[in-house]
A and B are shown apart, each in its own frame.
Chain A
Amino acid sequence: ETGVTQTPRHLVMGMTNKKSLKCEQHLGHNAMYWYKQSAKKPLELMFVYSLEERVENNSVPSRFSPECPNSSHLFLHLHTLQPEDSALYLCASSHYRDSSYEQYFGPGTRLTVT
């Protein structure tokens, strides 16, 4: 399988549940990203990992917890979410040390918090 994959594609969870989103890239990249996409708002960068180390956290609530065990995998652990967290969560990857490289996106996980 090539490119950036995300699972699950759809997720419905209650506010007291704990779930995890998974992202995997098969492009040999060394940086991975989590974005939140809400209707009529710009994509919001949530987390950036380079060489498996978190390099940026844009003041994301602690109910979102990222994990990057290796350069090919990225997780977003979710717990006690709020209805306003319902959105499309996109994963992306790129080469980190070359700013000319584009980011490649996964298809996203559509999250609904009830």
Chain B
Amino acid sequence: AQTVTQSQPEMSVQEAETVTLSCTYDTSESDYYLFWYKQPPSRQMILVIRQEAYKQQNATENRFSVNFQKAAKSFSLKISDSQLGDAAMYFCAYRVDQTGANNLFFGTGTRLTVIP
């Protein structure tokens, strides 16, 4: 069974500082996708960043980057130069790479607070 674990229910960061959110997952598959989704208060969940397991290079999207450690099954999210708008719930998610089934497995989320 695929499971995703986010061990930090809550995190806080000072504005303009850097914060890292952790995520580990359990799978026997070799090809899969990993995602970080952001859910601001009372707003829609949106994709922050995506990583293909077959790519060794860590994905980056502006101030967001990941540290993907395939052997350790670890997928952490680093937010640089944190902004007030980064305050949200962050969910790590996993999906097997196969056509057809497109089911995402989510972690329990990390609530990020940004302190002005």
Contact = CB atoms under 8 A, between A and B. Distances in A.
Interface of A: 3-4, 31, 40-43, 45, 48, 50, 55-56, 90, 94, 96-103, 105-108
Which 10 pairs between the two chains have the least Cβ-Cβ distance? A105-B45, A43-B106, A42-B106, A102-B47, A107-B44, A99-B97, A97-B99, A42-B108, A105-B44, A94-B102
Interface residues on B, range: 20 to 34
Interface string B56-92: 0000000000000000000000000000000000010
Given A48-B102, A99-B99, A107-B43, A42 B50 contact: no
Interface of B: 4, 9, 33, 35, 37, 42-47, 50, 52, 91, 95-109
Which of B37, B96, B98: most chain A CB closer than 10 A?
Answer: B37
